[in-house]
Amino acid sequence: MPGPLLDTLRGKSVFPRPVWLMRQAGRYLPEYRALRAEKGGFLELVYDCDAAAEITLQPVRRFGFDGAILFSDILIVPYAMGQGLQFLAGEGPKLSPTLADHALESLAAVPERLSPIYDTVAKVKAQLDPGTTLLGFAGSPWTVATYMVAGEGSRDQHVTRLMAYRDPLAFQAIIDAIVEVTVDYLSGQIAAGAEAVQLFDSWAGSLAPAEFERWVIAPNAAIVSRLRARHPGVPVIGFPKGSGEKLPAYACETGVDAVGVDETIDPLWAARELPAGLPVQGNFDPLSLEAGSDMLEARAVALLEAFAGRPHVFNLGHGIGQHTPIAHVERLLAAVRGWRG
């Protein structure tokens, strides 16, 4: 029995709106922090399938979200492609060797690094109420490439944008390699029980229009068409964060089943400009949630009203912040569930 989230992603308008929050399994939850303190670092949690399944389920138990998103990270793909991966406290993730300094061919793939993730998906699926949709995910090739090339995060992804201009053929080979692994990886998640998948392009916003076509739209379109051939009927949500006015082109040309909208976009504009009937997901500002002012409920209602004309999954415009009070999440959910249209 598909739940309200899966129904919405398949194009039905559902009442009350289904809701989940990006990064809902994470540090703002005391039960997450307790398990993490017991088990050690982030990567240790991801590779402990029982712990990762438990963390995936924690926010669903606490808040009754309509979706459960697999607890993992977008950097597992570079790790499986043969880069070393470390999460250093206070410094962010580090990948080595970097593809700025080393050829793609110098990496030796370690596909076994993906299998535990499939085990986690299967464990979650076995424990999940059938009305709650299990979401798999991966980073999109451009965003993943920015970490593989630079070896770490950066404010404007300049090292990778320069490489893409200076040596587009070498960069295309990196993107193509990520597409290959990502199709298999998402396919493996679906085979293990994921009912829909999301492609996160966190840094789509740093590209000029022609580069956006080549490095965001084209690789995401390739992933969507190959997944659809293997798994017809499994919706793909595309989330090109920061894409602004390029969002309608992304939605049309990638063929995604639903589009994630970040908080910088006016929902009334998105409702008007996106293809009729296309399901949207978003776009409550995570900082508005963290601040929790007395405007929170009114802002939630304004968002529900703005997307009243199409299938809408209520979500944030980006991940929930680690300092967000639980009480603010409860208020947001009460506003969404209590809305009578």
Q: How far apart are CA 235 and CA 289, in angstroms?
A: 28
The answer to whether residue 25 forms part of the interface with ligand CP3 (CB under 6 A) is yes
The answer to whether residue 69 forms part of the interface with ligand CP3 (CB under 6 A) is yes
The answer to whether residue 223 forms part of the interface with ligand CP3 (CB under 6 A) is no
The answer to whether residue 131 forms part of the interface with ligand CP3 (CB under 6 A) is no
The answer to whether residue 303 forms part of the interface with ligand CP3 (CB under 6 A) is no
The answer to whether residue 23 forms part of the interface with ligand CP3 (CB under 6 A) is yes
In DSSP terms, 259 is beta-bridged to 238, 280
Residue 236 contacts residue 224 (beta carbons within 8 Å): yes
**Is 22 or 183 the residue whose CB approaches ligand CP3 more closely?**
22
Of 22-30, 57-65, 174-182, 184-192, the window that binds ligand CP3 (rule: CB under 6 A) is 22-30
**Is 174 or 271 the residue whose CB approaches ligand CP3 more closely?**
174
- Give the per-residue SS3 of the chain: CCCHHHHHHCCCCCCCCCECCCCCCCCCCHHHHHHHHHHCCHHHHHCCHHHHHHHHHHHHHHHCCCEEECCCCCCHHHHHCCCEEEEECCCEEEEECCCCCCCHHHCCCCHHHCHHHHHHHHHHHHHCCCCCEEEEEEECHHHHHHHHHHCCCCCCCHHHHHHHHHCHHHHHHHHHHHHHHHHHHHHHHHHHCCCEEEEEECCHHHCCHHHHHHHHHHHHHHHHHHHHHHCCCCCEEEEECCCHHHHHHHHHHHCCCEEEECCCCCHHHHHHHCCCCCCEEEEECHHHHHHCCCCHHHHHHHHHHHCCCCCEEEEECCCCCCCCCHHHHHHHHHHHHHCCC
Residue 33 among the catalytic residues: no
The answer to whether residue 74 forms part of the interface with ligand CP3 (CB under 6 A) is yes
The answer to whether residue 93 forms part of the interface with ligand CP3 (CB under 6 A) is yes
**Is 69 or 227 the residue whose CB approaches ligand CP3 more closely?**
69
**Is 96 or 322 the residue whose CB approaches ligand CP3 more closely?**
322
Of 86-94, 189-197, 256-264, 309-317, the window that binds ligand CP3 (rule: CB under 6 A) is 86-94
**Is 75 or 306 the residue whose CB approaches ligand CP3 more closely?**
75
Residue 147 among the catalytic residues: yes
Of 9-17, 20-28, 76-84, 186-194, the window that binds ligand CP3 (rule: CB under 6 A) is 20-28
Instruction: Count the neighbouring beta carbons within 10 Å of the beta carbon of residue 225.
Output: 13
The answer to whether residue 262 forms part of the interface with ligand CP3 (CB under 6 A) is no
**Is 47 or 137 the residue whose CB approaches ligand CP3 more closely?**
137
Mask 176-215, x = binds ligand CP3 (CB under 6 A)? ------------------------x-x-------------
The answer to whether residue 73 forms part of the interface with ligand CP3 (CB under 6 A) is yes
Catalytic residue among 7, 17, 28, 36: 36
Residue 27 among the catalytic residues: yes
Catalytic residue among 27, 62, 226, 299: 27
Contact residues toward ligand CP3 (CB under 6 A) are: 22-23, 25-27, 42, 69, 71, 73-75, 87, 92-93, 137, 153, 200, 202, 319, 322
